[in-house]
Amino acid sequence: MGIGDDGAVVRAPDGRVVASTDLLVEGWHFRRDWSSATEIGGKAAAQNLADIAAMGAVPTALLIGLATPGDLPVAWAEDLAAGLAQECARVGAAVAGGDISAGPVLMLAVTALGDLAGQPPVTRSGARPGDVLAVAGRLGHSAAGLALLQAGLDQPASLLAAHRWPHPDYAAGPEAARLGATSMIDVSDGLVQDVGHLAEQSGVRIDLESVRLPGDDALPIAAAAVGRPDSLDWILSGGEDHALAATFPPRAALSGRWTVVGRVRDGQGVWVDSRRVERLSGWTHFRGSGVTH
């Protein structure tokens, strides 16, 4: 039972509900001159639904809070709602309700709900020495797209599209749970930083091998266009692609959607190519200003 009453009623066949929430602020998380309303809605849905998948759950519903200045065009709000609905449809979820308020700046508060379908939740704290680290999805594309936008460039177009509206592989989360994943996280703030959360909460060291990291031909083209020596930093520290990173027992039968990029060892911290990363670079919410991640 959705919109129309004081509250929605959402089925929870498992008996447990996974919940996550995010806040998006104009000028900090998105810009209307860079992205359409539909793209902003799709991106807002994607980053929240990905958090549910990262727990091994199936996303079921979103609740949306919208604060807006009074001069926001109605058509823009309708397009925002269309983007939210389109991304929900990719995973069989729905917008179950929400609220709207006047405010001095455009803000979106999104809460996602999900169902574990009988599986235990996959947390950040279960990685064990001997496990492998694998990723499902793209890395560095959104960060490259942002760099192109900041430089006033419009090619490669695929990277701009990845920044404006990521399309996470939601099915990878429940699949990881079925395959025995020992820990998992949504890569929203950068691979090194987010894998660092797995290492810290599991009390282990995680080694990444740069030659194993997924990439494509568009990334070096973008790096050359903005004067960077290569695209590795985007892959390691760029967020908002919403790939999933998970650790698995070494003999887990991983499907083709997963790429093994490292291993879990005794120790602590994140290491890249046998060198410890002293500063876990990535998105920091209280640093700088404007859309910088």
Last residue of a domain, one of 68, 87, 115: 115
User: What CATH number is given to the structural domain containing 86?
Assistant: 3.30.1330.10
- Asked whether residue 269 is assigned to any structural domain, the reply reads yes
| Domain with 82 in it | 17-115
- Asked whether residue 123 is assigned to any structural domain, the reply reads no
Instruction: In the chain, count H helices and then E strands.
Output: 8, 11
- Asked whether residue 186 is assigned to any structural domain, the reply reads yes
Q: For position 143, what pLDDT does the model report?
A: 96
C-alpha distance from residue 135 to each of 91, 185, 197 (Å): 19, 10, 15
Residue type at 277 in one-letter notation: V
Q: Model confidence at 90, in pLDDT bands (50, 70, 90)?
A: very high
Omega of the bond prior to 73 within 30 degrees of 0, cis?
A: no
Contact 57, 117 (CB under 8 A): yes
- Asked whether residue 12 is assigned to any structural domain, the reply reads no
* Alpha helices (H) along 54-183: 74-91, 141-150, 157-164, 172-178
Residues 142 and 258 in one domain: yes
Residues 149 and 207 in one domain: yes
Residue-wise pLDDT tens digits, 139-170:
999 999 999 999 999 999 999 999 999 999 99
| Closest CA relative to residue 20, chosen from 243, 174, 190, 186 | 186
How far apart CA 34 and CA 40 sit, in angstroms, is: 10
Residues 139 and 190 in one domain: yes
Cα 180 → chain centroid: 21
- Asked whether residue 99 is assigned to any structural domain, the reply reads yes
Residues 66 and 138 in one domain: no
Query: What is the domain count for the chain?
Result: 2
Taking all residues of the chain, what is their mean pLDDT, rounded to a whole number?
A: 93
Cα 191 → chain centroid: 10
Residues 179 and 107 in one domain: no
- Asked whether residue 127 is assigned to any structural domain, the reply reads no
Q: What mean pLDDT comes out for the span 288-293?
A: 47
C-alpha distance from residue 103 to each of 25, 108, 145, 232 (Å): 11, 11, 30, 40
- Asked whether residue 2 is assigned to any structural domain, the reply reads no
Q: For position 10, what pLDDT does the model report?
A: 85
User: What CATH number is given to the structural domain containing 213?
Assistant: 3.90.650.10
- Asked whether residue 121 is assigned to any structural domain, the reply reads no
Cβ neighbour number for residue 178 with a 10 Å cutoff = 11
